């Protein structure tokens, strides 16, 4: 299916969290780890936060599948922003006519609810991110080298949320890189720095395997949960990041976290295999 050793790709982003998407029904990526590293490089590649493979599900409980590879080639478990982009892709490319899409990820099946614009394009997408888990239920070492005060939350992948008084004073690159590899995080960790403001929770993120990104969907969910459990906010909040704003609703009825926001198509093209 690959012509002249090239792959057809789409570049899409969710509030600035940008990925290279490949529809594996059209093209095969033999070594996605190597491709993620090569294609994600700024200036020398396409430039992105990672690579996402879209597949057709072979189990009846799901419609499509997602595999995600970070910019360093490591395979991720879940990405809220990338999953919204997949919802947009499969609907607008005619792969489904359903506005409720079940997406199989490494952290379980996520249900996407698509809001359709009058022109037939996909507007906001709401993702059921399932129930959050706190540190005693996750891969987290409770003892050992001290951590700065924060809240550990898993949204299918690990996050450590640190609330600060002045977000602009935080050296996200230095502190994020250090904490990602902290010995109390055996599988590494996504690190969020957050400040509660009148217009929402302002957050910056260091993603494991990718570094600083303009937004992080699971990180926004983890930050909203952390703010709620520490009494800083209610169960509904807006998380403001460099790339835009996401709406989070941690519902009492089912304990699930619902993530809502836009998905944006940037461009598509062909790229050589590494």
Question: Catalytic residue among 79, 85, 189, 221, which?
Answer: 79
- Quick one: 163 exposed, middle or buried, by C-beta within 10 A (0-12, 13-18, 19+)? buried
Count CA atoms within 13 Å of residue 236 on its CB side. Answer: 2
Burial string for 48-69 (b: 16+ CB within 10 Å, else e) reads: bbbbbbbbeeeeeebbbbbbbb
Cα distance between residue 158 and residue 219, in whole Å: 9
What dihedral do alpha carbons 129, 147, 208, 123 form, nearest 10°? 30
Question: Catalytic residue among 85, 189, 216, 221, which?
Answer: 216
Other CB atoms closer than 10 Å to residue 192's CB: what's the count? Answer: 30
Q: Which helix (H) or strand (E) covers residue 66, if one does?
A: strand 64-70
Cα distance between residue 199 and residue 239, in whole Å: 9
Helix (H, G, I), strand (E, B) or coil at 6: strand
Q: Is-catalytic flag, 85?
A: no
- Quick one: 155 exposed, middle or buried, by C-beta within 10 A (0-12, 13-18, 19+)? buried
Cα distance between residue 224 and residue 200, in whole Å: 10
Q: Is-catalytic flag, 233?
A: no
- Please enumerate in sequence order all residues whose Cβ is within 8 A of that of 98, keeping only pairs 6 or more positions apart, or say none: 63, 91
Residues marked as catalytic: 79, 216
């Amino acid at each position: 299916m690959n012509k002249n050793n090239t792959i057809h790709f789409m570049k899409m982003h969710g509030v600035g969290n940008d990925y290279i998407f490949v529809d594996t029904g059209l093209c095969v990526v033999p070594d996605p780890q190597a491709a993620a590293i090569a294609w994600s490089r700024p200036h020398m590649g396409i430039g992105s936060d990672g690579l996402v493979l879209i597949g057709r599900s072979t189990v009846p409980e799901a419609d499509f599948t997602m595999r995600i590879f970070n910019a360093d080639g490591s395979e991720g478990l879940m990405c809220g922003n990338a999953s919204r982009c997949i919802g947009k892709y499969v609907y607008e490319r005619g792969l489904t006519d359903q506005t409720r899409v079940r997406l199989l990820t490494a952290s379980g099946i996520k249900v996407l609810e698509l809001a359709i614009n009058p022109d037939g394009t996909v507007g906001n997408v709401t993702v059921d991110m399932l129930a959050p888990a706190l540190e005693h239920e996750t891969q987290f070492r409770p003892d050992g080298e001290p951590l700065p005060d924060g809240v550990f939350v898993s949204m299918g992948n690990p996050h450590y949320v640190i609330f600060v008084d002045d977000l602009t004073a935080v050296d996200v690159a230095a502190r994020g890189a250090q904490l990602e590899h902290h010995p109390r995080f055996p599988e590494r960790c996504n690190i969020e720095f957050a400040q509660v403001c009148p217009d929402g929770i302002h957050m910056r993120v260091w993603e494991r395997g990718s570094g600083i990104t303009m937004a992080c969907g699971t990180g926004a969910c983890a930050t909203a949960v952390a703010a709620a459990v520490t009494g800083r906010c209610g169960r509904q909040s807006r998380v403001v990041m460099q790339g835009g704003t996401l709406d989070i609703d941690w519902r009492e009825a089912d304990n699930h976290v619902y993530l809502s926001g836009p998905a944006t198509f940037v461009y598509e093209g062909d790229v050589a295999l590494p």
